[in-house]
A and B are shown apart, each in its own frame.
Chain A
Amino acid sequence: GEDVEQSLFLSVREGDSSVINCTYTDSSSTYLYWYKQEPGAGLQLLTYIFSNMDMKQDQRLTVLLNKKDKHLSLRIADTQTGDSAIYFCAYEVTFGIGTKLQVIP
């Protein structure tokens, strides 16, 4: 069935880059999404990529899509303490388990 896999935890130092990875099973979805969940809150759309793109850049965020390997990644440049949250990869109604990003000052 449809599935999305992510690592559970990532720890980085403030100012470094963070890379969160995601793999997904067969999908004909037009878009793939990254959502962010801060403590005590719901999920918010962070960014997305159209399935016929390889890369999308949005300020400090870079999304890379490798359709052949069914691999999606989110890079956050110059990571700040405010970026500490859980990040979810998603397509259609399916979400990954979420990667908890811890930013060390």
Chain B
Amino acid sequence: DSGVTQTPKHLITATGQRVTLRCSPRSGDLSVYWYQQSLDQGLQFLIQYYNGEERAKGNILERFSAQQFPDLHSELNLSSLELGDSALYFCASSPTGGDNSPLHFGNGTRLTVT
């Protein structure tokens, strides 16, 4: 158990809808990362937060947004969903957000858009 909790485990929704994925980092970790994993694209970095502030941005679509709250949990909001958004979404956390600490991953949320 990595200590990173993601909910829900599975989500099925229709095109055009909006969903929110939630992540609780490991106790003591200040940085949260979001990744999208699909078969053809591998693991794509979306965004990183550190102590409530956005630290780095990757290939995140404008339809997607995220935030990290004062209690350090994070939410990833996906809107105007398309079939191609179907993927596994992972959250990871680390103590400092620097490259000298490995990431600890949750078990992911599997999103299916129909």
- Give complex CA distance A8, B94 in Å: 27
Q: A42-B108, A93-B58, A98-B43 are in contact. Are A31 and B99 (CB under 8 A)?
A: yes
CB distance from B99 to the nearest CB of A (A): 5
* B2 interfacial by beta-carbon distance below 8 Å: yes
- Give complex CA distance A98, B105 in Å: 15
Which of A12-20, A43-51, A55-63, A75-83 participates in binding chain B? Answer: A43-51
Q: A31-B100, A42-B106, A44-B105 are in contact. Are A94 and B90 (CB under 8 A)?
A: no
| Binary CB contact string for chain A from 63 to 105 against chain B (1 if under 8 A, 0 otherwise) | 0000000000000000000000000101111111110000000
Interface residues on A, range: 20 to 34
Q: Is the contact region of chain A dominated by helix, strand, or loop, or is it mixed?
A: strand
* B83 interfacial by beta-carbon distance below 8 Å: no
Q: A42-B108, A43-B90, A44-B2 are in contact. Are A94 and B45 (CB under 8 A)?
A: yes
Mind listing 16 A-B residue pairs with CB under 8 Å?
A30-B99, A42-B4, A42-B92, A42-B106, A42-B108, A43-B43, A43-B90, A43-B105, A44-B105, A88-B43, A92-B99, A93-B33, A93-B45, A95-B35, A96-B43, A97-B42
Residues on A facing B (Cβ under 8 Å): 29-31, 33, 35, 40-45, 48, 88, 90-98
Residues on B facing A (Cβ under 8 Å): 2, 4, 33, 35, 41-43, 45, 48, 56, 58, 90, 92, 99-100, 102-108
